[in-house]
């Protein structure tokens, strides 16, 4: 499967047997110890002869789900698409996903796809792809990513779990984020939200959208104890008809207990203020006054609650 895409992977699921899934899972579980799992180790774990394991592995290689070591010892590892298949299989235990429509965004850390359930309901899949060249160049600037044993796959799984946790927390306290449904390895399944990135739209009421955005960020800070840490016009979605907003892309979030939390909050606010000033010519004083008003409201509420 040379030109494999996520829509191709989901179509493979009915063609695989338990023995195929078992091998893929063993390869994933072996990541912390092996870059390529030796054939004799696999044979022992599978409780079958190496010759039988080799035939099954070759089938998975032909499908693009496994990669073989070309030099030195005979070994095998999970491919990117093999990890995708395991994740999609887990997602389908929660929602009967029928198809993956298209990829709507490619970022430094993840790809975003639209998919559909058997009843036609749309969903969003966020698939982390840590390890791409573009991300390696900026990894040192991220406050929460550290290389650890188990390769970039392990980091992608950890990042997805971390963002799912924060989205669940934010959704639970009423912050405007896409509703997270399930975490599966390096993927998060979310409800579809009908919005476009802030920088792609021309707002009829920019001051209202600005106020709503600030409201959500400040609510996350004082009510949820969470700072976005990477806020910009690229991770605020807006529905142009209803003027609803959603704040997306939270993998760099920090708790307010972090010593630099207030500094990251200030940077987030400044980034949004600069955008609305630049594109809509709104005055700095007016924008900062809104920030201060909203901040006082939530600060007072947090003091009363404590």
Q: Which of these is catalytic: 84, 111, 230, 249?
A: 230
Q: For this structure, is 191 an active site residue?
A: no
Angle (CA) 272-276-278 rounded to 5° is: 110
Q: What is the DSSP string of the chain?
A: -TT--HHHHHHHGGG--HHHHHHHHHHHHTTTT-SSEEHHHHHHHHTS-HHHHHHHHHHHHHTTSEEE--SSS-EEEE-HHHHHHHHHHHHHTTS-EEEEEEEEEE-SSEEEEEEEETTS-EEEEEEE-TT-HHHHTTGGG-SS----TTHHHHHHHHHHHHHHHHHHHHHHTT-S-PPEEEEETTEEEEE----EEGGG---SSHHHHHHHHHHHHHHHHHTT-EE-SS-STTSEEE-TTT--EEE---TT-EETTSTTHHHHHHHHHHHHHHHHHHHH---HHHHHHHHHHHHHHHHHHHHHH-
Q: Which residues are catalytic?
A: 230
């Amino acid at each position: 499967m040379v030109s494999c895409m996520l829509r191709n992977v989901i179509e493979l699921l009915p063609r695989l047997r338990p023995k195929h899934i078992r091998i893929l899972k063993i390869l994933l579980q072996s990541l912390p110890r092996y870059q390529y799992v030796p054939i004799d180790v696999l044979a022992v774990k599978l409780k079958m002869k190496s010759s039988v394991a080799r035939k099954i592995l070759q089938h998975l290689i032909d499908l693009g789900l496994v990669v073989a070591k070309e030099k030195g010892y005979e070994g095998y590892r999970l491919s990117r698409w093999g990890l995708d298949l395991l994740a999609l299989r887990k997602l389908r235990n929660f929602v009967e996903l029928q198809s993956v429509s298209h990829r709507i965004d490619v970022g430094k850390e993840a790809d975003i796809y639209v998919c559909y359930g058997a009843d036609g309901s749309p969903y969003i899949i966020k698939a982390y792809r840590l390890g791409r060249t573009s991300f390696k160049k900026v990894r040192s600037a991220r406050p929460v990513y550290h290389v650890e044993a188990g390769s970039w796959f392990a980091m992608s799984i950890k990042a997805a779990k971390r963002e799912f946790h924060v989205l669940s927390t934010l959704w639970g306290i009423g912050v405007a984020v896409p509703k997270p449904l399930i975490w599966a390895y390096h993927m998060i399944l979310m409800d579809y939200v009908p919005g476009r990135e802030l920088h792609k739209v021309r707002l009829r009421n920019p001051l209202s959208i600005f106020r709503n955005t600030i409201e959500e960020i400040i609510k996350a800070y004082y009510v949820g104890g969470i700072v976005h840490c990477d806020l910009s016009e690229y991770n605020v979605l807006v529905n142009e008809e209803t003027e609803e907003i959603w704040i997306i892309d939270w993998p760099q979030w920090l708790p307010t207990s972090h010593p630099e939390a207030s500094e990251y909050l200030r940077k987030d606010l400044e980034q949004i203020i600069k955008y609305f000033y630049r594109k809509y010519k709104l005055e700095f004083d007016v924008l900062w006054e809104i920030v201060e008003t909203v901040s006082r409201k939530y600060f007072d509420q947090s003091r009363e609650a404590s």
